[in-house]
Amino acid sequence: MAAVVRGGRSRPDASAARPALRLVEETPWRWRIDRAGDMKVPGVVFASRDLLPEAAADQSLQQVANVATLPGIVEASYAMPDLHWGYGFPIGGVAATEVDNDGVVSPGGVGFDISCGVRLLIAPIDRGELAFRLEMVMDALEELVPRGMGRGGVWELGEPELRRVLQGGARAAVERGYGDERDLERCEDGGLLEGADADAVSERALARGLHQVGSLGSGNHFLEVQVVEEVLDAAVAACFGLRVGQVCVMIHSGSRGLGHQVCTDSVAGIEAAMRRYGLSVPDRQLACVPVRSPEGRAYLAAMAAAANYGRANRQLLSVVARRAFSRVLGASGRLELLYDVSHNLAKLETHVVDGRARLLCVHRKGATRALPPGHRDVPADLAEAGQPVLVPGSMGTASYVLVGEPGAGAFASTCHGAGRAMSRTAARHQVSGAALRRELVAAGVAVRASSNRGLAEEAPTSYKDIDAVVSCVERAGLARRVARLVPVGVVKG
């Protein structure tokens, strides 16, 4: 069965020349966009019919096809069920290029919030033991967690120390006493992405980064106190240390103004360099250069530095969450890190394509790495189970812990969240932040939010249904559900 989706609505001139996209339903959980025009590989969209974006308001399916034209792309231009419209590449997209076949790297394939990601901390107490002190914990978090737009972080540092953060990531924070070695064992890449170069980051980006290390930010970023409501895989949950009723803290944040500036700077430089390599792309937001070019290497070095900033940021936020919990709960507020993983990153990884191991530049933009059991990059004490995959839902709704599946495809990737179904502007016009705040409180969720406007933009009605997204990911064989978590307290910018 096929569905026809029109493309190019926002630019009438382009839409006339652009053929309609034809989606072929391969299974109820997987659709294909066949090669056409300059596409080098097909598009593959993991989604149920209900989760496919509506083409009238969202160009993301056209973006999946556009990405398939990139030099050196292998297998397919993939999209996850939380797919929606992004800058050049769709959010929820995965694309890998072969480095030794003139494969390119594109800042649009990572996005503006470089190394935005999620970590989950686990408390030793259950919901009942927290209940009568929840408001006190939330007050402490409100006091200690810097949040919202602009400056103000946990760790005020000078430029030499900032440069150490850009090279050393969460490890640089731990070396200054923020957390311990065990935290690093539970971070993707040990908390430190290799190949970072602070000298590849502009003075302007450094200036923006100086006062934001250890700050939540705004938009969909949050810190939530959550409770494990349901365990879906008992053996893996036990390995992860998760049981029904358990209190957890989920942190969703990124690289703040520094990462944003690195992306802005890089797009400008790469757009200018493209001509020299004779590259053309169907959308200027897909600006790209060969991985093995001076500009490509410079982008990856600056991106890694921003990624390390994001990792240090989440490490600092964990430290203040620990301070808040221990202030109110003492030793029973101890928070152990389960895992920290990014969902906006390009990484050099080796994967088998057409029977041969190849070095690939894997772009995951709003997509989470999901390594299977036994993979050497999974922490040793979790290796039997596989890599924890942390999937935040929209505000006030469930979040999930998943685990990577063997042979899942899409370069071991899965979804990153519920996925926007409505623009921020549309959400602001449809929802009252004040009313939403009252609804959350009435539903038993303690809210500490600095902006009603921010609340309105993050209304769950402007997101897809996280339960449907995660169910789709599991049915498509990309990852397996381990635990469903529900919020009892939310801290937002």
Cβ proximity to DNA: between 18 and 151 the closer is: 151
The least distance separating DNA from the CB of residue 463, rounded to whole angstroms, comes to 10
Q: Which of 64, 116, 341, 382 binds DNA (CB under 7 A)?
A: 116
Q: Distance between CA 277 and CA 294 in Å, rounded?
A: 11
Instruction: Label the pairing between strands 43-45 and 77-84.
Output: parallel
Tell me which residues in 130-159 interact with DNA (CB under 7 A): 149-150
Q: Which of 58, 98, 113, 474 binds DNA (CB under 7 A)?
A: 113
Cβ proximity to DNA: between 233 and 465 the closer is: 465
Q: Which of 66, 69, 261, 462 binds DNA (CB under 7 A)?
A: 261
Cβ proximity to DNA: between 359 and 426 the closer is: 426
Which residues fall within 8 angstroms of residue 280, CB to CB, at 6 or more apart?
A: 274
Cβ proximity to DNA: between 113 and 474 the closer is: 113
Phi-psi label, residue 298: left if phi above 0, alpha if psi -120 to 50, beta otherwise: alpha
Residue 391 near residue 424, CB atoms below 8 Å = no
Query: Of 44-52, 54-62, 252-260, 368-376, which segment contacts DNA by CB under 7 A?
Result: 252-260
Q: Which of 164, 260, 369, 464 binds DNA (CB under 7 A)?
A: 260
Q: Which of 59, 220, 308, 462 binds DNA (CB under 7 A)?
A: 220
Residue 81 found at the interface with DNA (CB under 7 A): no
Residue 221 found at the interface with DNA (CB under 7 A): yes
Tell me which residues in 457-486 interact with DNA (CB under 7 A): 458
Which residues fall within 8 angstroms of residue 381, CB to CB, at 6 or more apart?
A: none
Q: Distance between CA 484 and CA 465 in Å, rounded?
A: 13
Q: Distance between CA 214 and CA 147 in Å, rounded?
A: 9
Q: For the chain, how are helix, strand and coil distributed in percent, rounded to 5?
A: 40, 25, 35
Query: Of 12-20, 63-71, 111-119, 431-439, which segment contacts DNA by CB under 7 A?
Result: 111-119
Q: Distance between CA 221 and CA 250 in Å, rounded?
A: 10
Query: Of 69-77, 92-100, 157-165, 211-219, which segment contacts DNA by CB under 7 A?
Result: 211-219
Query: Of 168-176, 218-226, 385-393, 441-449, which segment contacts DNA by CB under 7 A?
Result: 218-226
Amino acid in position 201: V
- 252 tagged catalytic: no
Residue 212 found at the interface with DNA (CB under 7 A): yes
Exactly one of 211, 351, 416, 429 is catalytic; which is it?
Answer: 416
DSSP state of 463: B
The least distance separating DNA from the CB of residue 37, rounded to whole angstroms, comes to 28
Under DSSP, is residue 245 helix (H, G, I), strand (E, B) or coil?
Answer: coil
Range list of β-strands (E), 293-445:
336-342, 344-353, 356-365, 368-369, 388-391, 399-404, 413-414
The least distance separating DNA from the CB of residue 30, rounded to whole angstroms, comes to 26
Residue 246 found at the interface with DNA (CB under 7 A): no
The least distance separating DNA from the CB of residue 215, rounded to whole angstroms, comes to 8
Q: Distance between CA 49 and CA 381 in Å, rounded?
A: 38
Residue 172 near residue 308, CB atoms below 8 Å = yes
Tell me which residues in 424-463 interact with DNA (CB under 7 A): 424, 458
Cβ proximity to DNA: between 97 and 218 the closer is: 218
The least distance separating DNA from the CB of residue 112, rounded to whole angstroms, comes to 3
The least distance separating DNA from the CB of residue 423, rounded to whole angstroms, comes to 10
Residue 207 found at the interface with DNA (CB under 7 A): yes
From 433, 434, 436, 424, select the one nearest 462 (Cα to Cα): 424
What are phi and psi for residue 69, nearest 5 degrees?
A: -90, -5
Residue 421 found at the interface with DNA (CB under 7 A): no
Q: Distance between CA 224 and CA 126 in Å, rounded?
A: 15
Cβ proximity to DNA: between 99 and 418 the closer is: 418
Residue 257 found at the interface with DNA (CB under 7 A): yes
The DSSP string of 429-461 is HH--HHHHHHHHHHTT-EEEES-HHHHHHT-GG
Helices 134-144 and 294-329 sit at what angle, rounded to 10 degrees? 140
Residue 66 found at the interface with DNA (CB under 7 A): no
Binding mask 25-54 for DNA (x = CB under 7 A): ------------------------------
Residue 325 near residue 336, CB atoms below 8 Å = no
Provide the binding-site residues for DNA, judged by CB under 7 A. Answer: 112-113, 116, 149-150, 204, 207-208, 212, 217-221, 254, 256-257, 260-261, 424, 458, 493
Active site residues: 416
